[in-house]
Amino acid sequence: MEKIILTGDRPTGRLHLGHYVGSLRRRVELQNSGEFDKIFVMIADAQALTDNADNPEKIRQNIIEVALDYLSVGIDPEKTTIFIQSQVPELCELAFYYMNLVTVSRVQRNPTVKTEIKMRNFEQSIPVGFFCYPVSQASDITAFKATTVPAGEDQAPMIELTREIVNRFNHIYGPTLVEPEILLPDNAACMRLPGTDGKAKMSKSLGNCIYLSDSAKEVKKKVNSMYTDPEHLTIDMPGHLEGNCPFIYLDAFATDDDVKRLLPEYDGLEALKNHYTRGGLGDGTVKKLLNNVLNETLEPIRERRHQFEQDIPMVYDILKSGSEKAREVAAQTLDEVRAAMKINYFSDENLIREQSLKFKR
């Protein structure tokens, strides 16, 4: 069986370090591993519109931001098909059929959707489209027969639902679709990178993000204001690592070699942590190290972004040809789906032949 990746992001803002360690970095590694037959990365504008119906300009402006972020982290359009969700209408068609295979109560149990409804204060005014987005996400994944979805933990309920839909579809209509698997980040710090304020998640609405496109100056300022250990009042005092942002970020971004290279007096990250918990290591030193590590990661990304920014028409060309290519693949799956569901009236010769016999006297 072919190994196929599909994943994507909502274009509601620039991408940040949470996206990077949660999924982007892995995507680039997988892309360059040569282990996958096809890779699709989708800018999920239709999904973004499910809770931004009144703000289409925001989505429109952020498509290019996300595309620039993709290209600047090293997603290579020669190897990865980058496309825009709304430009593949087959995805809507497929979602419409999947809605018959899922109950309302099943979607209501989705923990990610539950949290999002709370965060957006929807209460009784949940848009139907927003409520159904997990079903539409199942169509994004299965239209490409994806086997692997590299994504953060919050996407796990979507993949689970997708697997259920695939099983139900194949059971009713015959084997047609492929069951995907989620590929989660491999360490806890990457799984759920907290915001710079120490709150659970990096999120634009909380203003606690470091963006891939932030300047070195902005990153430094954000690192310096990071939440650490509020009880660590003097350098001599023992510090706590739990919930301590600079250390969590170091877990996500720094290798032992980075630590040894930038702070030769320490034999890796563990040694640094030990010194901190023992007492005698100041937050300033840790932040300085983190700032250096982040800038080593971000500088080449910024540099590439700057280059792509000089040729926006070319970026749109990439998105256009990616969308055309994605559409061909989805259309092929939809042909198979329609045949399995017996709604391929005009391409089924048997149907017409049998009914001719049935009705002729």
Query: If residue 83 lies in a helix (H) or strand (E), which one and from where to where?
Result: strand 81-84
**3-class DSSP state for residue 74?**
coil
Instruction: Compute the least distance from the CB of residue 200 to ligand TRP, in Å.
Output: 16
322 token code pair: 């990616």
Q: What is the closest distance, in whole angstroms, from the C-beta atom of residue 8 to ligand TRP in the complex?
A: 4
- Crossing angle of helices 156-173/111-119, nearest 10°? 130
Q: Which is nearer to ligand TRP, 29 or 354 (CB)?
A: 29
Residues 153-172 close enough to bind ligand TRP by CB under 6 A: 155
Q: Which of the stretches 148-156, 167-175, 195-203, 212-220 binds ligand TRP when contact is defined by CB under 6 A?
A: 148-156
Nearer to ligand TRP, 8 or 246 (CB): 8
Q: Distance (Å, rounded) from C-alpha 155 to C-alpha 274?
A: 34
Residues between 36 and 95 that touch ligand TRP (CB under 6 A): 44, 47
Query: Least separation, in Å, of the C-beta of 130 and ligand TRP?
Result: 11
User: For tokens 């931004």, what's the residue?
Assistant: 52
Give the Cα separation of 271 and 264 in Å (integer).
Answer: 11
Q: Is 17 in the site for ligand TRP (CB under 6 A)?
A: no
Q: Could you tell me if 253 and 21 are in contact, meaning their C-beta atoms sit under 8 angstroms apart?
A: yes
Smallest distance, ligand TRP to C-beta of residue 272, A: 33
Least CB distance from residue 149 to ligand TRP, whole Å?
5
* 30, 143, 151, 193: which one binds ligand TRP (CB under 6 A): 151
Separation CA 330–CA 38 (nearest Å): 13
C-beta closer to ligand TRP: residue 77 or 152: 152
Question: Rounded CA gap, 336 and 334, in Å?
Answer: 5
The CB-of-9 to ligand TRP minimum distance in angstroms stands at 5
Residue of the chain from 8, 18, 195, 246 that contacts ligand TRP (CB under 6 A): 8
Q: Which of 141, 252, 272, 298 binds ligand TRP (CB under 6 A)?
A: 141
**Nearest of 2, 5, 88 to residue 332 by alpha carbon:** 88
Among 5, 6, 30, 210, binds ligand TRP (CB under 6 A): 6
Which is nearer to ligand TRP, 6 or 223 (by Cβ)? 6
Closest separation between CB of residue 126 and ligand TRP, Å?
Answer: 16
Residue closer to ligand TRP (CB basis): 6 or 101: 6
Interaxial angle between packed helices 56-73 and 312-340, expressed in degrees from 0 to 180 and rounded to the nearest 10 = 100
How far is it, in rounded angstroms, from Cα 291 to Cα 296?
9
What would the DSSP string read from start to end of 197-242?
TS-SS--GGGT---BTT--HHHHHHHHHT----TT--STTS----T
Residue nearest to ligand TRP (CB): 44
Q: Name the residue nearer to ligand TRP (CB basis): 8 or 74.
A: 8
Smallest gap from residue 41 Cβ to ligand TRP (A): 9
Cβ closer to ligand TRP: 144 or 249?
Answer: 144
Q: How far is the CB of 353 from ligand TRP (least distance, A)?
A: 40
Using alpha carbons, select from 212, 191, 187 the residue that is nearest to residue 200.
191
Distance CA 11, CA 14 (A): 8
Nearest to 83 by CA among 70, 98, 97, 96: 70
Our finding on whether 140 is near ligand TRP (CB under 6 A) is: yes
Residue 353, C-beta contacts closer than 8 angstroms, at least 6 positions apart? none
Positions that interact with ligand TRP (CB under 6 A): 6-10, 44, 47, 137, 140-141, 149, 151, 155
